[in-house]
Amino acid sequence: MTKDNPPADLPPLVAGQIRFYQASPPALPPGDYNINVDQVLTGGGQGGLPSAKDTFGQDTPFAIVGPRFTLKPTEVYSVYPPKGHFGPFDNALPHVVFTRRTLPWERSLNPADPSQNSEFPVPWMALILISPDDFAAETTLPEAVAKDRKPGDMPAVKSRTVGQLLNPGDGFTGPKGINLDYGQSEGDLCNTLDLPVNVFTQIAPSQEDLPFLAHVREVKTGGKETLSLKQDGWFTVVLGNRLPQTTTASEGIKNRVCLVSLEGFSDHLPVVAEDGTPSLPNTDGAHTVRMAVLASWDFTCYGNNDFKVKMTQMDDRSLLSLNAVRPEGNDPAIKAVQGAFALGYAPLNHTTRLGEKTVSWYRGPMITLQMDMQSPYAFIPTADRALRYDATGMFATEYASAYELGRMLALQNRGFASAMYRYRNSVKMALDAEKKSADIAAGFFVQPLMGKDGTLQDAVAKLFENSKEWG
């Protein structure tokens, strides 16, 4: 994608389509700029007057600022794997989605040359995934590192000043050649990550890989639920370059993802030899690499998510049934419970709106039998109206849950919530106006004017007197 974002000759997207762009560099990168305007005035030369010429100039300096050492949380649209989640993420590359399409290309790896390669723009940020295995071989740590963590532990993201990032001290290496922009100072706080040089060499992307780890997506958002008010359909994605560590143990393995700034790392990113061995140039004898962290999150990976194996081993006869101890017997109630289990129902604790405690059935929308769609569905004013009793004498809550989930998803969209409020307010005003008209037609407007005896004659007389006062 060039400065003509997007190219004008592309047709508009329709529902269900997505379009990928390699990059979207900004028209002007962050930095200090100056606008100079000169105005030349000429005159005279008529009526015997000498001709005159003068030039008036004006310089207007301005600065373009952008994220550098920190990033506003609002810039991040979503992350995957989700923060704090537990699941089989071992075959998913971590990624982060931004709400501003130019963000990954607004700076350069080399601060002295902010321009971007027009053919292969290189992002200045990358996702670094660290796992416990990356540090398992550690037995000792340098003294400057040992005060922050123990051997074998994953390093934590730590708040430091910009000065400590740019000048980390002996044994450390960090971003080089960075001059602070307008409004920045070495006392500003930022999040940082310290990685051993050998770990950074193994897991950090090379400069050749970076152009392939970020891209722009244009999607048609009409009729889709989005996570914010952003509705233009442009999203930027930055991908990680390695898969999470996993285990089949029940507790799983915690992985940490850090979105780091690589500005100032143009000369000391890993270089991969022909045999696939990475090395790190220009370390100057350092044992630790320090980077600015723009965002970070943890997740726990469990199990081996091999899709082909799972599909091969799938038992379609018990696809949605629970692996639970099932009651046995020929009693009608037991048979009803067995049937509920076979259909994928789960008995769950249920607190009713009145505070009563009970156990009710619930299942998700995926079922193992054919159901005919109803058109149209009957109007349901509340979630409680969708509760129903089944043959076991228990509530079935799947439709009520779907109602409530749909309501919450709709109301979390500010645009929909605002439109709903305006609609309800207009209906209320119309009903109030209709009621007021009905009251007037029924003669209720004379009630406050009734005389002591409450007669209509007294009310009319009082109205007549008031009309003379009102003129």
In this prediction, residues 1-12 reach a mean pLDDT of 61
Reported confidence tier of residue 4, pLDDT bands at 50, 70, 90:
very low
> Exposure of 344 by Cβ count < 10 A (0-12 exposed, 13-18 middle, 19+ buried)?
buried
Reported confidence tier of residue 47, pLDDT bands at 50, 70, 90:
low
Name the DSSP class of 240. Answer: B
Kindly report which listed range (3-17, 140-154, 246-260, 285-299) carries the lowest average pLDDT score.
3-17
Tell me the per-residue pLDDT of 94-115, one tens digit each, with 9 for 90 and over.
999 998 899 999 999 998 887 7
- Are 77 and 235 spatial neighbours (Cβ–Cβ below 8 Å)? yes
- Are 343 and 349 spatial neighbours (Cβ–Cβ below 8 Å)? no
3-state secondary structure 95-149: EEEECCCCHHHCCCCCCCCCCCCCCCCCCCEEEEEECHHHHCCCCCCCHHHHCCC
Rounded to 10°, the helix 414-441/398-411 angle is 100
Kindly report which listed range (82-86, 355-359, 415-419) carries the lowest average pLDDT score.
415-419
Q: Give yes or no for residue 81 having a pLDDT over 60.
A: yes
Tell me the per-residue pLDDT of 303-314, one tens digit each, with 9 for 90 and over.
776 665 566 666
Mean pLDDT of the chain: 83
Pairing of strands 288-301, 172-173: parallel
CB count within 10 Å of CB 400 equals 21
pLDDT at 3: 39
159 or 354: whose pLDDT is higher?
Answer: 159
Measure CA 455 to chain center. 69
pLDDT at 225: 55
Reported confidence tier of residue 439, pLDDT bands at 50, 70, 90:
confident
Q: How far apart are CA 1 and CA 229, in angstroms?
A: 25
What is the Cα Rg of the chain in Å?
34
Q: How far apart are CA 101 and CA 214, in angstroms?
A: 10
Residue 310 CB contacts under 8 Å (≥ 6 apart), including other chains: none
Q: Is the pTM of this model over 0.85?
A: no
Amino acid, single-letter form, for residue 448: P
pLDDT at 264: 94
- Are 129 and 94 spatial neighbours (Cβ–Cβ below 8 Å)? yes
- Are 396 and 388 spatial neighbours (Cβ–Cβ below 8 Å)? yes
Cα angle at 173 between 184 and 96, to 5 degrees? 65
The counts of H helices and E strands in the chain are 8, 20
